[in-house]
Structure 1
Amino acid sequence: LITFPAATQYFMWEKMRLPIGATFCVMTLHFGQWMNRVFNFYYWAWFPVNFTTPSLMIPSAIFLDVMLMMTGSYMFTALFGGMGWSLLFYPANWTWLAPFHLAVKHPSGPLMSIAD
């Protein structure tokens, strides 16, 4: 998951000195994922869009780029930026995952969450 943003970040930092490689890669990845979700799942198979939402990686990519900009070192970016990438992944996705954890009473069954 972090391989392509890290490679794009390396290229953009070495060739252009722009610390936005990971964010650029993740934004283009999200654009492609949304095109896939909307055209293939929603228009073709009629799945609800909120059931096929891609994971949100933009805050993690911004953290990775800020880490490279502040340290200027690939080693510290890999150590602390990679750790921050993984630690920010779940809280960044919590905003759209939270409604699925509400309790629902099914007419003929037990009290469960929508996520179950």
Structure 2
Amino acid sequence: MVRMYNLLVTRDAEAWDRKPSRYRYHPLRFLDRSYPEFTDAKIRDRFEKLSAETIAELCSLPTLFAYEDEVNQPARVGKIRSIAPNVDSISITFELDPKEPPIPPDTLLVDCSINFST
């Protein structure tokens, strides 16, 4: 069984701390095909169309809310509560898990071998 999670990455240093907990992505950043190494093609194809079913599945997964390398802010763990696709953006409402401590960027990059540079 493959365990999945959402990974949301931004350059906005305040994105995951704002209230209300809502963030907008440009539609081209969602499962961005220009960086195929970030998302397996089968997963991208499965979630590319944001139907009610795929939105429900994405909302059921744990989420890692991270920042690009140059922001140097800790990542957080939480859940996506809703996804609203629009013509010019995808609006995501989320909730951070207060029980999970922030994950320092150097720990995240080393322990998970993740590189957020684009």
More strand by share: 2
More helix by share: 1
Larger radius of gyration: 1
Higher RCO (C-alpha 8 Å, min separation 6):
2
Q: Same fold (TM over 0.5)?
A: no
Q: TM tier, shorter chain?
A: under 0.3
